[in-house]
Chain A
C-alpha cells in the first residue's frame, strides 16, 4: 500500500499578532504548527502502516523552509519520506496555484491513497483537496470521519463522512483523495527518545521550483486566480468585562448576554 499525505504547516493563530502601526499581520514571528486536520490524516496513515508494515507513506508539503523541523519529526514518527516543496517563487500562491504544485508533484508518484485534512486553520476554504483530486482525475471524499474498510488489491475503501447531523457511509474506488475531519482522539504517535536526534536527512527532500518543471506563470501571484484588491481590518474596541457571581443570577446573565449576541438560541 502506497500512501501520500498532503500536509500544511500553518501559523499558530494564537500567536499571530497584528501590528497596528504597520497595519500588517506579523507572520514571521508566529510559530508554525501542523494543520490539525492534516495531522489527523497523517495519524491515520501511520495507523495503516502499523497494521501493514510494508505500506509506505510520503508526506508532501508546500511550505516555507522553516517547516523543515516539523517534516523531520514526521519521519521520526514513522513516515518513510517527507518532501518539502519550497521556493520564493511560490509566495502569494492561492489555493488554485497551490493545488497545481501539489498535484504536479503527486503525478510523479504511484499511490493508492492521498490523505489530507478537509480544511486548514488559516483559511478553511476546503478547496485544495478538491482541486488536487480534480487535477489528478481522482475521486474525492471530504469530511471523512473514519476509514471503515480498505482493500487496495481490489481497489476500494469504505469511509464514514460526517455530514453535520448524520453520518453517511460511502464506498469509493482507489486511488482516491480522502480528506479527513479533525479527530482529537487520533493523535500522532510520540517520538521515541532515541529517535528525537536521529538524522533523517536521507528521508527528507527539498524541491525548489526548478525541480518541479512547471511554468513560472502557474505559480505565485501570477498563477493565482484569487486577486486581492484591498484588505480591510476591523477596528478593535476594548470592552469592559462583565463580572457575574457564580450563582443562578450570574448564570442567567451569562445566558442572556450570549443570546443577545447571537451565540445561543433561546
Chain B
C-alpha cells in the first residue's frame, strides 16, 4: 500500500473537506517540538504522513480507527500539537494524523457539581476563560495553556504550574470517552469516586495515543480566588537548601499552588533582575483568605526553620510579576521557530524527572557533574541547570534545563547535544530509583528505557498494548520501543 491508497481509503470514510494533504502541513505533521531545530531548518529525517484528517464526531473517529486497524495504517492522534518528546513524530510511511481540531465543543459546564465536559479539541485556555466568568478555574496551567487542547493534555498525562495545589491532569479527570483501534467506544462515567475494580481512567490517561483516541473529557472545577494570591521569594544558598524548605512545607500538609526552587543558572534565565547569582526559592499561596493566611504562615515557618540556607528575601512583587508572564502563546512558539530558521540557536531543551526528597538533591548534583565531565561538547553548553516545580508529600520533580551553541549540522543536533545529555539524566535517575519522565511523557525518544522505568510492572503495560492495540497501529514507537524506529533515534 502507498500513500495514495491510504488517501483513497480515508476518502471512503470522510469528505474531502476533512482530509488535508497540503505538503507544508504534512511536513509540519511529521515531527513535534522534539526535533524543532531540524524541522525549522527543513532537514527532518522522518517520513511525512499520508494525510491529516479532522473528524467531527466520535463515530467518525471510530470509523477512521477501524479502517486503519484493518489495513495496518499507523495512527497518530493529535490535539494541540505542543508535544515535546516525539509523541507526534511519524516513523511510518503509511500514517494518518487524526487531529482533534473539529472536536471543539464545550459540552457542559456544571457549576453546581463542579465539573465541565469538553471535546478533545477544546483548548485549555478557552475552557479556563469560560469558567473564570463563573468564578471558577480548571486549576490546570501548563506553560502551553493558550495552545494545548484537552485530548493532548489527558493523553500525555500533563501537569500544570499550580499542581502542588490542584494536582496533575490525572487528579482532575472525572471521566472520559475514548475510541480503541477496533472501533469500540468506551465511556467512563463521571462519579466522585468508586471502588469498581481498577481505575480504568488510567488506561486512557497518559496512553500517549498508543492505546486509544480520547474524544471527550470531563474535568473537575474549583472555586477561584485570584485576588487573594500571595507571593513569596527567597535567594537560597543552593538547590538542596531550597528543597529542604519545599519538603518542610509539603510535609506539614500545606498546599501552595506554586512551590519552586531554581538553580542559579536557571534562575538567571528567569530572574536576572534580582537573583544576584544565587538560587531562587518561590511560592504562591492561593485560595480563600483563610487558606492563604494559613499557607503563608506555613511557608514563613518553614523558611525560618531552615534559615541557614536562606540568603535574603525577594520583593514579592518580583514573584508576582514573574507569575503574570508564565505561559507560552502561539506567538512565542512561532518566534522561536523563526529564530531557528534565521540562526544557529533555539531556546534550549529540558528533561524532567522525579524522585523522593532524599534523592533529588543527590540526583541533581550527579547529573550536573556527569554532564560537565563526560559530555563531549561540554564547551558548547551555554546553560546547564534546573528547577523543582512540582512537589508532593514524598518527593518532587527536577526539571533539567540546558542550552548550547550548535556547531554541527541541523540534522545532527539531537544526537550530538540533546541525546547524550538526556541519556546521562535518565541513567542517573533510574539508577537512583526515580522516574525518567515526570510530566512530558515517554514519547518516542525515551522508549528505549520504558522497560527499565517500569521494571517487573512492564508486564502490565505490555499486556495493555497487546490487548487494546494487537495490530500495533496506534502511534508506532510511542512508549513502546520499536527496533524499526531506532534509525530515527540515533
Binding site for B on A (CB under 8 A): 12, 15, 17-20, 31-33, 66, 69-70, 73, 187-188, 190-193, 196-197, 238, 240-241, 243
- By a beta-carbon cutoff of 8 Å, the part of chain B in contact with chain A is 273-274, 276-277, 317, 321, 344, 376-377, 379, 381-382, 405-410, 412, 415-416
B273 touches A190 (CB 8 A): no
Chain B residue numbers with a CB within 8 Å of A187 are 344
Residues of chain B within 8 A (CB-CB) of A17 are 277
- Which secondary structure dominates where chain A touches chain B? loop
A-B contact pairs, 12 of them (CB 8 A): A19-B277, A20-B276, A187-B344, A190-B344, A190-B406, A190-B410, A190-B412, A192-B408, A193-B409, A196-B377, A196-B412, A238-B273
15 additional contacts, CB 8 Å, given A31-B379, A187-B344?
Answer: A15-B382, A17-B277, A18-B277, A31-B381, A32-B379, A33-B405, A190-B408, A191-B407, A191-B409, A193-B409, A193-B412, A193-B416, A240-B317, A241-B273, A241-B321
Q: Which residue of B lies closest to A18 (CB)?
A: B277
Min distance, Cβ B368 to any Cβ of chain A, angstroms: 13
Task: Give the shortest distance, in Å, between A195 (CB) and chain B (any CB).
Answer: 9
Contact B408 A69 (CB under 8 A): no
Minimum distance in angstroms from B39 CB to a CB of chain A: 17
Instruction: Check A70/B379 contact, CB under 8 A, given A193-B416, A241-B321.
Output: yes
CB-CB under 8 A from B382, the residues of chain A are 12, 15, 31
Nearest CB of A to B320, in Å: 11
A238 surroundings in chain B (CB, below 8 A): 273-274
Q: Number of residue pairs across A and B with beta carbons under 8 Å?
A: 46
Instruction: Assess the B409–A192 pair: CB atoms within 8 A.
Output: yes
- Which B residues are CB-close (under 8 A) to A188? 407
Chain B residue nearest to A19 in the complex (CB): B277
Query: Which residues from chain B contact A12 at a C-beta distance below 8 Å?
Result: 382
Contact A196 B408 (CB under 8 A): yes
Residue of chain A at shortest CB distance from B410: A190
Say whether, besides A193-B412, A196-B376, A73 and B273 are in contact (CB < 8 Å).
no
State the Cβ distance, A75 to closest chain B Cβ, in Å. Answer: 13
The docked-state distance in angstroms from the alpha carbon of A97 to that of B407 is 32
Q: Pick the 9 closest A-B CB pairs, nearest first.
A: A69-B379, A190-B409, A193-B412, A17-B277, A190-B408, A191-B408, A191-B407, A73-B407, A196-B416
Most chain A beta-carbon contacts within 10 A, residue among B276, B382, B407, B415: B407
Question: B277 to chain A: which residues have CB within 8 Å?
Answer: 17-19
The minimal Cβ–Cβ distance linking B378 to chain A, given in whole angstroms, is: 8
- Nearest A residue to B272 via CB reads A14
* Alpha-carbon separation in the docked complex, A66 to B381 (Å): 14
The closest CB in chain A to the CB of B412 belongs to: A193
Distance between Cα atoms of A115 and B268 in the complex (Å): 36
Q: How far is the CB of A34 from chain B (nearest CB, A)?
A: 9
A112→B62 CA distance, assembly (Å): 73
Given A196-B416, A238-B273, A238-B274, A190-B407 contact (CB < 8 Å): yes
Tell me how far the C-beta of A65 lies from the nearest C-beta in chain B, rounded to whole angstroms: 12
Chain A residues near B344 (CB-CB < 8 A): 187, 190
Q: Which residues of B contact A196 (CB under 8 A)?
A: 376-377, 408, 412, 416
Q: How far is the CA of A190 from the CA of B343 in the complex (A)?
A: 12
What are the residues of chain A within 8 A of B406 when measuring CB–CB? 190
